[in-house]
Amino acid sequence: MSGLAWAAHQLGASVTGSDRSDSTYLERLRAAGVAVTVGHDPENLPEGAEVIVSTAISEDNPELVAARQQGLTVKHRSELLAELCSARRQIAVAGTHGKTTTTGMLTFALRELGEEPSFFIGGELPGFGPEGAAANSGWGDGEWVVVEADESDGSFLTLDPEIAVITNIEMDHHARWDNLAELRDAFHDFASKARAVILPREDTGLAASLDSGSREITPFDLTGPGPGELGLSVPGAHNRLNARAAIGALVAAGFREEEVVDALRGFTGVKRRQEFKGECDGAKVYDDYAHHPTEVAAALGALREFGPDRLIAAFQPHLYSRTKIFSQQFGAALAEADEILVLDVYPAREEPVGPLEGVSGLDVLRAAADRAGGKPAYWAPDLEAAERILRSRAGAGSIIATLGAGDVTRLSDRLVS
């Protein structure tokens, strides 16, 4: 939402907004001259405004109720996103994992190639905001817009991309999608609008269903497109896959493969994606948004490439529903670390009631301990306890990774402060 507000402001719209709590996103909007408030109140609604809401806004939200009573136009965020993106040639990146980094890679490479892309990313790209700050959106003068396409609520289907990138397809948002077949059908519908589709080489079924004489299909894997060695600045097999997808997309956009590869070498990542935060008593601290077992395994595998003496994983599960479904898989992924710390679940929008009653981070810790072969495993009920434990385990030659989509990022800040 903050990214849409910033882009609309750049385009000259009169923008106001509100959120339930303050954040760095609101601070940046205020600094740019956007009128934002903390708390939802009907008084926040300007006369005649077009009201944009996210999926997180319930129907009983006081501002939304007032907007409907006043007969104001109400749109979902995806509708405004699609409206803005329709003004540019679109590269849309969808997938269960890797879409934020791949969107960041594409945006970075386009700028390195002399373009001035517009972009909408589900993370913050360093150096792309005012005065070199990080930004999750921007409106450029170039012909391309790069947009992260969110499948979690089905809103990616509102986009109309010229080039569609699918990084991978795996079940994650079980509240929205009943099964993998339904999810794959949605990805098919998303990609079928594009003239060019970049997708995993292993997904021959989707490629076959999309194949037509007028649509360009580019498969990617760890061997291509691109040369054997990419020389990336970011570690991990998953990032090498992300880069291959980005190369395929930009070649489909008309750029030469070798110049795209050169442009990507300077990409250093997106905030909260293997982000180096600093040191704690000699240990290097990295922060990552990983909140799915596949992502946890990928993040730890990438950090292993740095060759630490010890890799300490501090994981905060996100959502009771996801924890219940994936506790065993989370345990298996975390067991690849040398030491494991698990915090309790970050609930976000959920309550541990009904079928979720009794679910906790202890389910993940037990699963990890069962698979860890006697490696140290710690329970931390809160960030304060986690900080104490991690400080006692930190040391030269080790890496501490804070992992999760909740407020565990604050733990990394505390460790390096």
Residue 49 DSSP label: P
CB 156 within 8 A of CB 92: yes
Which has the closest alpha carbon to 99: 163, 147, 56, 155? 147
Query: 2-76 and 86-264: same fold?
Result: no
Domain locations in the chain?
2-76, 86-264, 275-416
Cis amide bond preceding 235, omega within 30: no
Q: Which of 31-40, 157-166, 277-286 has the lowest mean pLDDT?
A: 31-40
Is the predicted pLDDT of residue 224 greater than 80, yes or no?
yes
pLDDT at 211: 77
pTM: 0.90
Region 158-175: what's the mean pLDDT?
Answer: 91
Core vs surface per residue 122-155: b (16+ CB within 10 A) or e: bbbbbebbeeeebbbbbbbebebbbbbbbbebbb
- Which two tokens mark 213? 């004489």
Structure-token match 């596949």, residue found:
294
pLDDT attached to residue 172:
84
Chain-centre distance for alpha carbon 406:
12
Calculate what percentage of the chain has a pLDDT beyond 90.
86
Q: What is the pLDDT of residues 128-149, one digit of tens each?
A: 988 888 999 999 999 999 999 9
CA distance 320 to 91: 34
Would the CA dihedral through 20, 26, 30, 32 be positive or negative?
negative
Contact of 139 with 294, CB cutoff 8 Å: no
pLDDT average, residue stretch 166-184 = 88
User: Is the pLDDT confidence value at 182 over 90?
Assistant: yes
Output the pLDDT for position 23: 86
Give me the mean pLDDT over the 117-127 stretch.
95
Which pLDDT value is given to residue 213? 67
Residue 209 confidence (pLDDT): 87
User: Residue 176's pLDDT band (boundaries 50, 70, 90)?
Assistant: confident
pLDDT greater than 90 at residue 165: yes
Amino acid identity of 192? Answer: S
Q: What whole-number distance in Å separates Cα of residue 385 and Cα of residue 360?
A: 16
Mean pLDDT value across the chain: 95
> Taking the alpha carbons of 129, 134, 138, 141 in that order, is the dihedral positive or negative?
positive
The band of 361, judged by pLDDT with boundaries at 50, 70 and 90, is very high
Q: Categorize the per-residue pLDDT at 250 as very low, low, confident or very high, splitting at 50, 70 and 90.
A: very high
Question: If pLDDT is split at 50, 70 and 90, which confidence band does 243 have?
Answer: very high
Answer whether 96's CB lies under 8 Å from 151's CB. yes
Q: Which CATH superfamily is domain 86-264 in?
A: Mur-like, catalytic domain (3.40.1190.10)
Q: Are 45 and 72 in contact (CB under 8 A)?
A: yes
User: Would the pLDDT of 214 be above 80?
Assistant: no
Spatial CA neighbour of 18 closest among 1, 39, 47:
39
- Check pLDDT > 90 for residue 205: no
Tens-place pLDDT, residues 66-120: 999 999 999 999 999 999 999 999 999 999 999 999 999 999 999 999 999 999 9
Q: Is residue 337 within 8 Å of 313, Cβ to Cβ?
A: yes
CATH 3.40.50.10490 fits 2-76, yes or no: no
C-beta atoms surrounding 391 within 10 Å? 14
Query: What pLDDT is attached to residue 192?
Result: 93
Q: Which architecture characterizes domain 275-416 according to CATH?
A: Alpha-Beta Complex (3.90)
pLDDT at 276: 96
Tell me the residue type at 57: I
- pLDDT band at residue 277, thresholds of 50, 70 and 90? very high
pLDDT given at position 83: 96
Instruction: Determine the longest span between alpha carbons in the chain, in angstroms.
Output: 63
Does residue 159 surpass a pLDDT of 80? yes
Among 218-232, 249-263, 305-319, 324-338, where is mean pLDDT lowest? 218-232
Spatial separation of the C-alpha atoms in residues 413 and 286, rounded to whole Å: 10
| Share of residues in the chain with pLDDT > 70 (%) | 100
